[in-house]
Amino acid sequence: MLRFRLGLLLLWAVSALANDNLRVAYEWREMDFKYANPDQRWSAIERGEFKPANVIPFGLEVAGHRLFVTLPRWRDGVPASLAYLDLNDTSSKGPALKPFPSWQAHNLQEAEPELVSPFRVRADRCGRLWVLDSRISGVLEQTKIYGAAQLLVYDLHNDDLLRRHVLPAGQLKQGSLLANLAVEDSDCENTFAYAADLGSPGLVVYSWKDEESWRVQHHFFHPDPMAGNFSINGIEFQWDDGLYGLALSKPLETGYATLYFHPLCSTTEFSVDTSILRNKTLATSPMIYREFKVLGSRGPNTQAGAEFLDPDTGVLFYALPNLNEVACWRTATDFSHSSQSRIHMNNDTLVFPSDIKVDDQKRLWVLSNQLPVFIYDELYAGSINFRILTASVKEAIENTACEIRTSPLPDVINKLGDILNTNIKLKSNSASSLRNLSSLMLIALCLLMSFRI
């Protein structure tokens, strides 16, 4: 009986490492847009310019009172591929989105469309919005390429386009698809952007100051052939995607940062100092191989998607699509199973967590979009398909290995000793003693969990 109770105790201890504190802030059956009037919207549907069933949110970002959403053109009928909602408008949990920066910017009939199909956006601390546009539409239908991938940078004060950088042909390979973005913005005039190429694994680095980019190659960017199997809510498939997740630490004493990264088809996390990446001559040479670090494995079935690092706590948040889960790791600790925790898991509201961000108000945001259903099956318009969940960072990591504790370990040991000393008079050979001992051990472990460092 004691062994059984201890088994239950351990099971409880594992489950107690997360509170699942994320709440659904927004949800949609189908995405919608703010047209000038209902007639204009209906006309767009009749002409096939707007097909609600073909619109899926993918990336998100929060800047000021606006929450931006990317809506890549996987299929036709997506009238705007970047839009936003007003966080101050609480009249609806499923608001229609307003195209950014304008309807005209998304017009594919233009000779040189401003925006085609962005996957990720990032707002920096300098009031700029960085947009990574693949410029590829119809990847699930009839693929059309409008030109080389581009970085667009907008002024968030007036939504004007500040700069457009089209990647040189030599920095894109056959099969390239740039699908993730990180921005190192400690110096507004010397900002660097990092774009992940998952299709032909590589990393593109862009210098705002020098207005040029270069491509970095490394074996760690490639997929693990043993980690290509996915099974999400009954849908099984195989992917071979390379470099995907990118997350930057706050500036180190050197003035540089640490870039954490992983391929989508991998269970391993890696890192590299940005001093290596920002030096064009060094970054493009074969001499940098040993500068990249292997942090460790997350364990079986833990292929990770998007990730984001909260600079204040040093906590790295990352999506685990195979598990419909968001997890965390406090980067001040070793990368091990005991230093990682589940933040939120739900097989209904968190099917394929697609993007993760922390805003300047210390709120964690997670977008889930049921992407495997969209690709391999069909989304049912009568049910909720897309959600944005949120919580404060403090709430999200409460009672997890990522929470920063202030109680020293000796205090914990003393508390455990006090509890055990109360049972010193019990006779060890009695059934009552065994029952009491197991109960006391449960209380003791509860205390240890509550004072976990």
The confidence score (pLDDT) of residue 406 equals: 54
User: Full-prediction pTM beyond 0.95?
Assistant: no
Give the DSSP H or E segment for 61: strand 60-63
Residue type, 51: K
335 φ, ψ (degrees, to nearest 5) = -80, 95
Q: Is 352 left (phi over 0), alpha (psi -120 to 50) or beta?
A: left
Q: Is the pLDDT of residue 82 over 60?
A: yes
Give the pLDDT of residue 6: 42
* Four-CA torsion 344, 350, 353, 359, nearest 10 degrees: -60
- Rg of the chain on CA atoms, in Å: 24
Task: Give the pLDDT confidence score for residue 416 in this predicted structure.
Answer: 44
Summarised one tens digit per residue, pLDDT across range 234-246 is: 999 999 999 999 9
Rounded to whole angstroms, the Cα distance separating 245 from 452 reads 29
For residue 435, CA distances in Å to 5, 429, 440, 448 come to 9, 11, 9, 20
Over residues 136-146, the mean pLDDT reads 95
Lowest-pLDDT range of 4-13, 226-235, 280-289, 338-347: 4-13
* 358-375 per-position pLDDT tens digit: 999 999 999 999 999 999
Report CA torsion sign: 365, 213, 174, 304: negative
CA distance 164 to 139: 23
In tens, the pLDDT along 384-404 reads 999 999 999 999 999 999 998
Query: Which pLDDT score is estimated for 12?
Result: 40
User: Residue 411 — pLDDT band, cuts 50, 70, 90?
Assistant: very low
Pull the structure tokens for residue 239.
């992917």
Quickly state the pLDDT bin for 21 (edges 50, 70, 90). Answer: confident
User: Could you give all domains of the chain from N- to C-terminal order, each with its CATH number?
Assistant: 23-397 (2.120.10.30)
pLDDT at 72: 98
What size, in residues, is the chain?
453
pLDDT of residue 405: 72
pLDDT at residue 330 is higher than 70: yes
pLDDT for 109 = 93
417 pLDDT more than 50: no
Closest by Cα among 300, 240, 252 to 276: 252
| Contact yes or no for 368/354 (Cβ under 8 A) | yes
Q: Is the pLDDT of residue 453 over 60?
A: no
Q: What is the pLDDT of residue 18?
A: 56
| Band of residue 2 on the pLDDT scale cut at 50, 70, 90 | very low
Least confident of 65-74, 284-293, 423-432: 423-432
Average pLDDT over residues 331-337: 95
pLDDT in the model for residue 366: 98
Averaged pLDDT for residues 240-266: 97
Query: Out of 113-127, 300-314, 324-338, 405-419, which region has the weakest mean confidence (pLDDT)?
Result: 405-419
Q: Which of 392, 391, 384 is nearest to 368 (CA)?
A: 384
Q: Is 50 exceeded by the pLDDT of residue 1?
A: no
H or E element in which residue 340 lies? strand 340-345
Per-residue pLDDT for 137 more than 70?
yes
**What distance in Å separates the CA atoms of residue 12 and residue 399, rounded to the nearest whole number?**
13
pLDDT above 70 as % of the chain: 85
Q: pLDDT at residue 100 above 80?
A: yes
Say whether 282 sits in a helix, a strand or coil.
helix
Q: How confident is the model at residue 208 (pLDDT cuts 50, 70, 90)?
A: very high
Q: What is the pLDDT of residue 407?
A: 46
pLDDT at 408: 44
Q: What is the pLDDT of residue 441?
A: 52
What are the residues whose beta carbons fall under 8 Å from the beta carbon of 71, sequence distance 6 or more?
31, 55, 56, 57, 58, 78, 80, 81, 82, 83, 97
